[in-house]
Structure 1
Amino acid sequence: MSATDDPVLRVDKLVRHFPVKGRLPFTSGGVVKAVDGVSFELRRGETLGVVGESGCGKSTLARMLVGLERPTSGEVRFGDAVVHTARGRRLRELRRRIQIVLQDPYTSLNPRRTVRDILLQPFEIHPDVLDRRHRLDRVKELLDLVGLDPSLHLDRFPHQFSGGQRQRIGIARALALRPDVIICDEPVSALDVSVQAQVVNLLERLQRELGVAYVFIAHDLSVVRHISDRVAVMYLGKLVETGPEAPLYDAPQHPYTRALLSAVPVPEPVGRAERKRILLTGDPPSPVDPPSGCRFRTRCWQASETCAHVEPLLTGDGRSVACHYPLPAP
């Protein structure tokens, strides 16, 4: 199923600030601006890759998309429902339609439950989805769908599986209720390279077969390029560049995006010596006190006074960049 123009998920000016306690009791030390004005749309059957350095707000964004974290302002809209304001039956329905695959396959599964119990639990929480007589058959179908043998793995505990097998169980759990959207929060970062490829190929195959949409969050740009239709680059809580995968990777317009891509390892030795690596000076600023204007200006090689006083807006049609001096094609 190819991506359509019908958005299944809309994110509008999403903000999440965390208060920081001061050194003295009952005093405030400011706020951590983890996510600060993120907007995008996700179409049915599409994969949106979200990349950026550690600490840029990717995982906080993921938690807000599924309603595990309440935004300070802005909204996440699924159809005509706002995720963080839904209650009761409406919230239960949204939980079924939007699922998440967590980053760590070693802690995201209950060690006291067998695979049978882990995959039956979604149907216990949503008993109207499937009749009790057919639930075990559905669990076996899910295991077979993600490449695990039900006759061998159904009654094992999580510690009896490898990392890649545990992540497959996590994917099966996310697919149990047939969701429209799955948020993948760095689902392969804890796995070996060969296992990463297996899990990514599995996600692509499931998307073709089931038509599910993904928000794929990662810091490995090569993996994101392989699986994504569109890519959004985050820096210090904000999106700095978005666009289709091929144009963004081949001709990045934001200096931060170009610096990130210059650090991706090149497997072919031909041309490696001529490749220009961009080394950013200094450390990322604190999200408690981000720079004025453009947040990347303290590490940017072409920053000017304008960058210090005027915040660039994410503008463009299809391909968007938040920079006063977007880079030309290399």
Structure 2
Amino acid sequence: MVSTAEPVLEARGLVKHYPLTRGIVLRKQIGAVKAVDGVDFSLGRGETLGIVGESGCGKSTVARLLCHLERPTEGEIRFRGEDITGASGRRLKEVRRNIQMVFQDPYTSLNPRMTVGDIVGEPYEIHPEAAPKGERRRKVQELLEVVGLDPEFLNRYPHQFSGGQRQRIGIARALALRPEVIVADEPVSALDVSVQAQVINLLDRLQAEFGLSYVFIAHDLSIVRHISDRVAVMYLGRIVETGTDAEIYEHPTHPYTQALLSAVPVPDPEARAHRDRIILSGDVPSPTAIPSGCRFRTRCWKAEERCAREVPELAVPEEFRAVGGPVAHPSACLFAAERQVVPGAMEDHGGHGNGPG
């Protein structure tokens, strides 16, 4: 479900640098880890924005910034059109009620000393106006039932559940305050493939039932395509290509996106034999020493001298503007060109709700 109304959540020029210091008594900054270095996106009501990229590209940092678990170095975050970047006190409490997070590890994100009932009901302790004390037990049982767990499990502890069940508990906790936005930071990466499909289908169903908007972060491109309406590809702290799922998966124009797609496992032996395999040279540069110009140029087979001088803008390449169609979507590359990596292999025949596998 995609909404064309005013975005419910926006990031504008989002930057997060972690200072590197030297010295004990007299601390001196000698550099910075540029985890997020200028990210822009918007999220519509009822929409799912998938953010993909290699480990260390800044995806999880973006998630923490959106939930105000960390403060950005620069830029702004807007919720319903209002700048909430510097929100504090009562206003921050309101913001956090409307933007909840599902964490990557379904075990460490749950307090092992608390029962499931206490974990899922804790948001009501922080926001007592959301549920009167006499109704909290019933509301917790309803939430457990909504995510597919037995309501009588509320007196059990996290260690008594499987990984998939623990993630359902985390989702129930995120739903407790009826938020508008859920930021899911690799919510299925620690789960078995069969359990991944169950959790993804659950998120799909909850989105339709509660009108949720998702920022879904992952490194598995097949899962991201299944659940996302739009996709943003990140590399070294910046978004390098963005578009609808069909635009990104069937008409990629950025070399990095093409390399990621070529690494996706293909179950069809015939399609696998005809895949356009792209092997990147070198390692991802350190976020403390970002290359000049295009930050992907040190690993790109298309790189030329101008790539070291010019910073490519995330925009629809000029040569595609007149053509239109799915190839005309924003791509931060000076030599953007369409390339179908695996013909037909990434097409989504089932639509949302059939599971990624």
Q: State the distance in 2 between where 1:271 and 1:182 align.
A: 36
Given that 2:236 and 2:295 are in contact with CA atoms closer than 8 Å, whether structure 1 keeps it comes out as yes
Alpha-carbon distance, 1:2 to partner: 4.4
Name the aligned partner's letter for residue 321 of structure 1. S
* 2:211 maps to amino acid: G
Amino acid at match of 2:154: L
The residue number in structure 1 matching 2:231 is 231
Aligned counterparts of 1:80 and 1:39: Cα–Cα separation in 2? 14
Match of 1:75 in 2: 76
Alignment of 1:161-172 (within 5 A): 161-172=161-172
Instruction: Report if aligned partners of 1:67, 1:83 keep a CA contact under 8 Å in 2.
Output: no
1:329, distance to aligned residue in structure 2 (A)? 4.1
Question: Does the CA-based 8 Å contact 2:6-2:80 persist in structure 1?
Answer: no
Q: Distance in 2 between matches of 1:274 and 1:98?
A: 43
* TM-score where L is the length of structure 1: 0.97
- Match of 1:215, SS state, is strand
Give the 5 Å matches for 1:98-137.
98-137=99-138
- Count of matched residue positions in the alignment of Structure 1 and Structure 2: 329
1:6 offset after TM fit, Å? 2.2
SS in 2 for 1:270: helix
Q: Tell me the percent identity.
A: 64
Instruction: Using the TM superposition, give the Cα deviation of residue 83 of structure 1 relative to its aligned residue in structure 2, in angstroms.
Output: 2.9
Indicate the residue corresponding to 2:98 in structure 1. Answer: 97
Gaps of 5+ in 1: none
Q: Tell me the residue number matched to 2:259.
A: 259
**Inter-partner Cα distance in structure 2 for 1:4 and 1:162:** 39
2:41 is paired with a residue whose SS is: strand
Matches within 5 A, 1:30-69: 30-69=31-70
- Matching residue of 1:218: 218
Which aligned runs of 4 or more in structure 1 are off by greater than 4 angstroms?
Answer: none
Quote how far apart the aligned CAs of 1:27 are. 3.1
Q: Deviations over 1:16-73 (max 9, x none)?
A: 0001123786233300000000001000000000000000000100000010110000
The 5 A counterparts of 1:285-300 are: 285-300=285-300
Structure 1 position 322 matched with structure 2 position 320: no
SS at match of 2:287: coil
Does the Cα contact within 8 Å between 2:2 and 2:44 map onto a contact in 1? no
Q: Secondary structure at the match of 1:111?
A: coil
Shift, 1:4, TM fit: 3.5
**Residues 145 and 151 in structure 2, CA contact (< 8 A), matched pair in contact too:** yes
What do residues 180-204 of structure 1 show as CA deviations (whole Å, max 9, x unaligned)?
Answer: 0000000000000000000000000
> Tell me, which stretches of 5 or more residues in structure 2 are unaligned?
322-327, 341-357
Equivalent-residue separation in structure 2 for 1:169 and 1:315 (angstroms) = 40
The aligned counterpart of 2:271 is 271
The C-alpha deviation readout for 1:169-189, integer Å capped at 9, x for no partner, is 000000000000000000000
Taking the aligned partners of 1:89 and 1:40, their CA distance within structure 2 comes to 26
Deviations 1:123-159 (A, max 9, x none): 01001112212111111110000000012x1110000
Aligned partner of residue 133 in structure 1, secondary structure: helix
Deviates more, 1:140-149 or 1:82-91: 82-91
Distance in 1, Cα, partners of 2:83 & 2:122: 25
Q: CA deviation at 1:214?
A: 0.3
Distance 1:255 1:319 in 2: 14
Residue by residue over 1:202-232, the C-alpha shift from the partner in whole angstroms, topping out at 9 and shown as x without a partner, is: 0000001111000000000010011000000
Question: 1:295 is paired with a residue of what secondary structure?
Answer: coil
Shift of 1:274: 1.6
String of CA shifts for 1:56-107, please: whole Å, max 9, x gaps: 0001000000101100000111124333311222111101000000100110
Contact 1:65-1:83 within 8 A present in 2 as well: no
In the alignment, residue 325 of structure 1 is paired with which amino acid?
F
